Structure 1
Amino acid sequence: MLYYLFDYLQREFDLVGAGVFQYISFRAGMAAVISLLITIAFGKRLINFLRKKQVGETVRDLGLQGQMEKKGTPTMGGLIILAGILVPVLLFAKLDNVYVVLLIVATIWLGLIGFLDDYIKVFKKNKEGLAGRFKIVGQIGIGIIVGVTLYFHEDVVVREYDQVVIENNEVTRSYEDVKSTKTTVPFLKDNELDYDSILSFLGHDYTWVMYVLIVILVVTAVSNGANITDGIDGLAAGTSAIIGLTLAIFAYLSGRVDFSDYLNILHIPNLSEVVIFCTAFVGACLGFLWYNSFPAQVFMGDTGSLSLGGIIAVVALVVRKELMIPLLCGIFLIENLSVIIQVSWFKYTRKKYGEGRRVFLMSPLHHHYQKKNLHESKIVTRFWIVGILLAILSLATLKLR
């Protein structure tokens, strides 16, 4: 909104300083700062409100160090994150940008699913919350919306350049904006993969179906990965902030003609607006850590965790880095895999030996280390360090091919 206001003031009244709102770097920085301030200010009020309403977490005694002390801690703190993301984006982003609109829809959609789950757990006193099948249906629903939009919307294009050398040795560049399902494959020299080409055997009429199915898989997997990672104070929020900052860098580079040309990566017109969403996302995660770092004053609940994972998935798809998710979101991946391995091995050994056996002391993986009597602050810090290393390695793929 402020973008349009100051754009109008500059055009009509030539207001001094109004032009600064044309710069992505300024608006992205302001979005991060405002997001941080909103989450800190709003967070305190929400925590006090939740305490008055006795909206506390129900904790089972799983024999984990410090687990029972968390009983009664306010949950549904994901509302803090949602406010910290949406308000700055509405203030500083171009709201006619298809990517921004898509991210806003995904944030609200997954936030509502998570809120409904938390509401059932807290107010209806049903520990199971929203049935898993309904969560999956909701994730599939937003996956369909994202996939269909990215495949068919006329503004979702890739800019392809041709170089033409003229007589005086000066180079002029012509370009064409084309519909494309190209994405990035990390560590390969020619690191572009076109879904249309590998799915061409299906015929063009059906390629979009497979593309939408891929999008659904990505959104569901990352959203659930963030949800599983949200098990100890600060882990999900801190990890998400690291991933969000990395995606902001990718979005900025792909949105710029000069950087995308220099790095030989896809140039995606109008993608720079996604940087504003990403910085608001990072600011919201950091602001939430103000209250969620050990010992947590509030938990994000599914309201926050489902939204965080879904946003990361959609940004990765928009930036065309979804094939990098196993690397960039490695923490989410190992948390997911630890649960799958634990459950699968337990069922297999119970069927074969009559007694279930475990690979880990407990899953997800962060609980395994808790069972080994590591303090959760140490676990979280080490997971953050691994997350930073994975982020650096992901950025290194820009040159390592």
Structure 2
Amino acid sequence: MRGVLVAAGVALAVSILLTPYVIRLFIKQGFGQEIREEGPQSHRGKRGTPTMGGVAILTAVWAGYLTAHLVGDVAISVSGLLVLMLMTSLGVVGFLDDFIKIRRQRNLGLNKTAKLVGQFVTAVLFGVLALQFPDEQGLTPASPNLSFVRDIAVVSLGAVGFVVFCYLVVTAWSNAVNLTDGLDGLAAGTSAMVLATYLIVSFWQFRNACGMQIEAGCYQVRDPLDVTLVAAAAMGACIGFLWWNAAPARIFMGDTGSLALGGLFAGLSMVTRTELLLVVLGGVFVVEALSVVLQVAVFRTTRRRPFRMAPFHHHFELAGWAETTVIIRFWLLAAICCALGLGLFYSEWLAASGG
């Protein structure tokens, strides 16, 4: 438990203290956000706000994670490193996207092909490595089986199928968080809630992990405590960044942060065997992504738009809601989704353990 507190506390402190330095540096370098021309008029005033704040989040996560290992007795694990590398690799893809936007002075960075290639290489590498490195019980960081709150043994994807599935999951979540990052603090606050939930889930799995002898209700996962440290550090980093990112934002996380956090969610879901549960926990991200898909599909079919603007949060802005009202209500929905997901997780454990 001390390691969890250290990971979260150090990441929180680093994020809060580092972000102002990043803000000053990026202002000096002219790394300002470009705004969509077709976006809400109220967003025009945000043009020039420093972006790429995800650099501070990534730095804080690594600082919290490594410090927790220096002061604690938990060994660095393959599962933890794989999730962190997935997060960092997608952060690099996002950084390139942000940097190109800034240099070209427009709200278009990497083209779709380049971004998809980056996500593809990162996801495939993670998927292949996650099925390697079995421990003494034969458990690998991820499982080729589909999972809800634990493996669904009858739904096996196989090694190749899992790698394909991994690509779909990583791409879907990184893009979903990226689409949600359109209002001050919306993505950071929602992410902090999802990560707090994963902290609880992974720590519960650690306390109820299967040993050499499988017991009723235990979890067959590898390195759950180290995964808890990753979730704790990421939660602390998001909360610290939110201090400066809350409305009115002094800095935006940019694609550097949103793609990294989406990849982190995907990685956490796979190493904790909760891919389908994440759909509930990240319900706000799911709705935001689906709103874009629905908007495009309906418009191409009927030439009509079901929403005033997509992603979904802009629909309410154009309906007259204040930005802070949209943010707070979406945070409330995110909290409800996390509570519901945590309830499903715990109720399944009660049923499985005969409690």
- TM-score over 0.5 (shorter chain): yes
**Maintained 8 Å contact 2:151/2:273:** no
**Maintained 8 Å contact 2:209/2:219:** no
Q: Which has the larger radius of gyration?
A: 1
Which of 367, 373, 397 is 2:314 aligned to? 367
Instruction: Tell me by how many angstroms 1:254 deviates.
Output: 1.1
Larger mean CA deviation between 123-132 and 301-310 belongs to: 123-132
Number of matched pairs:
340
SS of structure 2 residue aligned to 1:154 = coil
Q: TM-score, normalised by structure 1?
A: 0.80
**Maintained 8 Å contact 1:78/1:300:** yes
**CA deviations over 1:159-199 (Å, ceiling 9, x no partner):** xxxxxxxxxxxxxxxxx54565445435xxxx6412xx434
- Counterparts of residues 107-126 of structure 1 (less than 5 Å): 107-126=87-106
**Maintained 8 Å contact 2:180/2:186:** yes
Larger mean CA deviation between 224-233 and 61-70 belongs to: 61-70
Instruction: Tell me by how many angstroms 1:61 deviates.
Output: 4.2
Q: Take 1:269 and 1:52, find their aligned partners in 2: how far apart are those partners?
A: 45
Which of 132, 154, 179 is 2:112 aligned to? 132
1:10 corresponds to = none
SS of structure 1 residue aligned to 2:152 = strand
Output the amino acid matched with 2:336: L
CA separation of 1:131 and 1:305: change in aligned 2, threshold 3 A: same
SS of structure 2 residue aligned to 1:397 = helix
Residue 92 in 1 paired to residue 68 in 2?
Answer: yes
CA separation of 1:113 and 1:258: change in aligned 2, threshold 3 A: closer
SS of structure 2 residue aligned to 1:67 = helix
1:346 corresponds to = 299
Q: Take 1:34 and 1:396, find their aligned partners in 2: how far apart are those partners?
A: 29
Which of 47, 51, 55 is 1:79 aligned to? 55
Output the amino acid matched with 2:5: G
Instruction: Tell me by how many angstroms 1:400 deviates.
Output: 3.3
Which of 336, 340, 348 is 2:289 aligned to? 336
Which of 315, 323, 336 is 1:389 aligned to? 336
Larger mean CA deviation between 290-299 and 253-262 belongs to: 253-262
Q: Take 2:21 and 2:216, find their aligned partners in 1: how far apart are those partners?
A: 45
CA separation of 1:66 and 1:256: change in aligned 2, threshold 3 A: same
Output the amino acid matched with 1:216: Y
**Maintained 8 Å contact 2:36/2:107:** no
Which of 111, 114, 123 is 1:143 aligned to? 123
Instruction: Tell me by how many angstroms 1:63 deviates.
Output: 5.9
Residue 26 in 1 paired to residue 6 in 2?
Answer: no
CA separation of 1:63 and 1:337: change in aligned 2, threshold 3 A: closer
Instruction: Tell me by how many angstroms 1:95 deviates.
Output: 6.0
Output the amino acid matched with 1:66: S
**Maintained 8 Å contact 2:6/2:67:** no
**Maintained 8 Å contact 1:65/1:370:** no
Larger mean CA deviation between 90-99 and 127-136 belongs to: 90-99
Output the amino acid matched with 1:102: L
SS of structure 2 residue aligned to 1:198 = strand
Instruction: Tell me by how many angstroms 1:107 deviates.
Output: 2.1
CA separation of 1:130 and 1:259: change in aligned 2, threshold 3 A: same
1:162 corresponds to = none
1:228 corresponds to = 179
Instruction: Tell me by how many angstroms 1:60 deviates.
Output: 3.5
Instruction: Tell me by how many angstroms 1:284 deviates.
Output: 0.7
1:239 corresponds to = 190
SS of structure 2 residue aligned to 1:152 = coil
1:358 corresponds to = 305
2:327 corresponds to = 380
**CA deviations over 1:106-162 (Å, ceiling 9, x no partner):** 12211110010111111243532111111111111121122112223223x8xxxxx
1:36 corresponds to = 12
SS of structure 2 residue aligned to 1:72 = coil
2:220 corresponds to = 267
1:167 corresponds to = none
Instruction: Tell me by how many angstroms 1:228 deviates.
Output: 0.3
Output the amino acid matched with 1:298: I
1:56 corresponds to = 32
Structure 2 residue runs of 5 or longer lacking an equivalent are: 349-355
Q: TM-score, normalised by structure 2?
A: 0.90
Structure 1 residue runs of 5 or longer lacking an equivalent are: 1-24, 158-175, 201-206, 350-355
**Maintained 8 Å contact 1:43/1:288:** yes
SS of structure 2 residue aligned to 1:322 = coil
Output the amino acid matched with 1:242: M
Instruction: Tell me by how many angstroms 1:69 deviates.
Output: 1.3
CA RMSD between the two structures: 2.1
CA separation of 1:258 and 1:76: change in aligned 2, threshold 3 A: closer
Residue 327 in 1 paired to residue 292 in 2?
Answer: no
1:198 corresponds to = 155
SS of structure 1 residue aligned to 2:15 = helix
1:217 corresponds to = 168
Off by >6 Å, runs of 4+ in structure 1: 258-263
CA separation of 1:297 and 1:399: change in aligned 2, threshold 3 A: closer
Q: Take 1:78 and 1:276, find their aligned partners in 2: how far apart are those partners?
A: 19
Output the amino acid matched with 1:214: F
Q: Take 1:43 and 1:185, find their aligned partners in 2: how far apart are those partners?
A: 36
**Maintained 8 Å contact 2:123/2:167:** yes
Q: Take 1:99 and 1:192, find their aligned partners in 2: how far apart are those partners?
A: 17
Instruction: Tell me by how many angstroms 1:221 deviates.
Output: 0.4
Q: Take 2:23 and 2:244, find their aligned partners in 1: how far apart are those partners?
A: 9
Q: Take 1:270 and 1:258, find their aligned partners in 2: how far apart are those partners?
A: 9
